[in-house]
Amino acid sequence: QVQLVQSGSEVRKPGASVKVSCKASGYRFTRFAMNWVRQAPGQGLEWMGCFNPNTGNATYAQGFTGRFVFSLDTSVTTAYLQISSLKAEDTAMYYCARSPSVRYYGMDVWGQGTTVTVS
């Protein structure tokens, strides 16, 4: 079945880096964009951006430029979110979610989420 399985919880100190993975299975990996969504504790959903496997381009929402990097490794059907120079305010649940394209479509399959704690 179609699924996205994310890597486990991470705890980092301020200033460190973290890389979250999102392993896709059950569908043709390169036919869908991969979105990243942040949810701070007790807060709502925030779209961070997405990676378009067809163009190799990443789109970042304001507030997620510079320290945040999306990437894909098509050989292992895995998407990655790397966050550098971590700050306490990066503490959140991070979700990957696929969509048929960067625009117009919703996100139909979601990973289970990865908790990143910066302390």
Partner 1 sequence: DIQMTQSPSSLSASVGDRVTITCRASQTISNYLNWYQQKPGKAPKFLIDVVSNLQSGVPSRFSGSGSGTDFTLTISSLQPEDFATYYCQQSYSTPSTFGQGTKLEIK
Give the binding site for partner 1 (CB under 8 A): 35, 37, 44-47, 49, 59, 61-62, 95, 97, 99, 102-113
Smallest Cα–Cα separation from 13: which of 93, 82, 114, 86? 86
Residue 32 C-beta: closest distance to partner 1, Å: 13
Q: Could you give the CA distance from residue 21 to residue 71 in angstroms, rounded to a whole number?
A: 10
Q: Which is nearer to partner 1, 49 or 78 (CB)?
A: 49
**SS3 category, 88:** helix
Q: Which residue has the tokens 């569908």?
A: 27
Q: Could you give the CA distance from residue 47 to residue 95 in angstroms, rounded to a whole number?
A: 10
Q: Which is nearer to partner 1, 62 or 75 (CB)?
A: 62
Q: Which is nearer to partner 1, 59 or 71 (CB)?
A: 59
What phi, psi does 30 have (nearest 5°)? -80, 0
Q: Which is nearer to partner 1, 71 or 102 (CB)?
A: 102
Residue 89 C-beta: closest distance to partner 1, Å: 18
Residue 15 C-beta: closest distance to partner 1, Å: 27
